[in-house]
Structure 1
Amino acid sequence: MTDPVEFFDARALRLVEAPIPPLSTEERTAMDRFWDESVALQPALFDGPAVACLGVENAGAELLLSWARVTYRYRALRRVESCSWLPASVFVTVLQPVTEGGLVVGRSSSATAYPGRWGTPGGSAEPPAEGEVLDLAGLRRHAAQELVEEIGVVADPEDMTVWAVTRGEHGNIGVHFLAPAAPTALVLKHHEVLAEAERTRGAGPELDRLTVVRSVENVKSLASTADFLPQVVARYFQQQAASRA
């Protein structure tokens, strides 16, 4: 059974860059070995730039997140026994409501790192160029980009609001944004056009199927989900019910 995710209720988020904690020669060798094994099993993995969370401090109304520039192979440290540092990921997701009521969720295709897993559109945060800062505006732009790339829906980053920050499996930090509502038929059409374009160029959509969930029970009926999805959906509908009341 998946452990419950933790919600942070801070009203502001500040990100501070820090150096990568040092690794011993043995830890680095083991990391590289486990990474190579993972790639052999899942060729979709690639060693691109990523953001690792080094710590989270809830300082009153502000959430302080320290982070470091890494690559995806650092996640293999989670398999190294008694490692001195276990990196947590930072990712963004988008809650895309539909005007008829409900949230859009998608299933990751077989070409992704998590095939068959249902979740909201999103992806791992990427570090900015050297000398530039990672901030909330950058995460918001990244979330809007993921929305376009995964379901074909265009949203102005300025129209997307920070809805929640969560901590889940491996200490991973999720920054969840809320997008403006759109008609279900329009969302599905955008995804259909996107998927066909991806197939035409010999690739394939990152999300091979979309559906709309209108309750936690809908989420429970899905075969495999991101760890945060049941609680995020539950909280979203609780807030919707409270606002109507």
Structure 2
Amino acid sequence: MTQPSGVDLFDADRLRLVEAPPPRLSPEDRQAMDGAWDAAVRANPALFDGPVVGCTGLEREEPHGLVLTWVRATYRYYALRRVPGATVRLPSLFVAVLQPADDGRLLVGRMASWTTSPGRWQLPGGSVEPPPDGEPLDPAALRRHAARELAEETGVDTPADALTLWRATRGANGSVGILFRAPPRPAAWLHGRHATLTATERALGRTPELDRLALVRSPADLTGPHVSYLVPVLRRHSGTPHR
């Protein structure tokens, strides 16, 4: 269903992933992409052009399933979104985790100052990387990736098989997120795990990707900039009526 924010939120009882050929760029698009990427790196030297999965399609498959078409790419392909007239605009694929506290509130995190979106609130998660040659990208691989992101960003260790597929989301730019739900945890324990992670990272001279956590129940609890999918996710989670 389409939300007022321009975000689609799909029920996802079953997910099938199909690999497609990498996007083909014209010489003009490739030159524009490289120029846009070089400019982005000059503005933020923390950027790196590592392997990443792009999403070129998300379709319903009856009954109650989704088919996701994906391609192998690198992060510089996303720079083409900023180039007027570019003929290739590759949507991204990411995973995110709904981590509830035992009182029903959801854990959200604020992106640190060194990231590509400083100050932005979102669910724990991140971009999906392609599997090694010969290994599948399937729901189990996405679940493992989501569990790893949750641990790396919040300090909350949860076995991958304890995460359940919840919904898929698609933003106005076509980017797709696969959302998993984790078992509830005590609120104080969640904050304590992040405090331990933060202390460990700072002892090594680093700042965690999520520099602050909060527990929220509905969109009214959000303060500051946030990812577009967060409001519809909170509405669905809390049962808040759409306005």
Give the alignment's TM-score, normalised by structure 2.
Answer: 0.94
- Superposed, 1:1-245 pairs within 5 Å as 3-60=5-62, 61-219=64-222, 222-238=223-239
- Percent identity over the alignment is 49
Instruction: Confirm or deny: 8 A CA contact 2:110 2:211 kept in the other structure.
Output: yes
Runs of 4 or more consecutive aligned structure 1 residues displaced over 6 Å after TM superposition:
none
Deviations, residues 189-232 of structure 1 (Å, cap 9, x unaligned) = 1000100111111111111101110222002xx11001100110
Figure out how many residues of one structure are paired with residues of the other and give that number: 237
SS in 2 for 1:115: coil
Instruction: Confirm or deny: 8 A CA contact 1:10 1:58 kept in the other structure.
Output: no
CA distance in 1, matches of 2:43, 2:105: 36
Structure 1's unaligned 5+ residue stretches are none
CA distance in 1, matches of 2:234, 2:46: 28
Give the partner amino acid of 2:208. Answer: P
Q: CA RMSD in A?
A: 1.5
Give the alignment's TM-score, normalised by structure 1.
Answer: 0.93
Deviations, residues 143-183 of structure 1 (Å, cap 9, x unaligned) = 00011000000111111101100100310000010000000
Higher helix share: 1
Instruction: Confirm or deny: 8 A CA contact 1:5 1:227 kept in the other structure.
Output: yes
CA distance in 2, matches of 1:169, 1:196: 37
CA distance in 1, matches of 2:21, 2:184: 39
CA distance in 1, matches of 2:72, 2:199: 35
Give the partner amino acid of 1:74. Answer: Y
> How far 1:41 sits from its partner (Å)?
1.0
SS in 2 for 1:171: coil
Deviations, residues 101-122 of structure 1 (Å, cap 9, x unaligned) = 3011110001111110001100
Structure 2's unaligned 5+ residue stretches are none
CA distance in 1, matches of 2:200, 2:61: 46
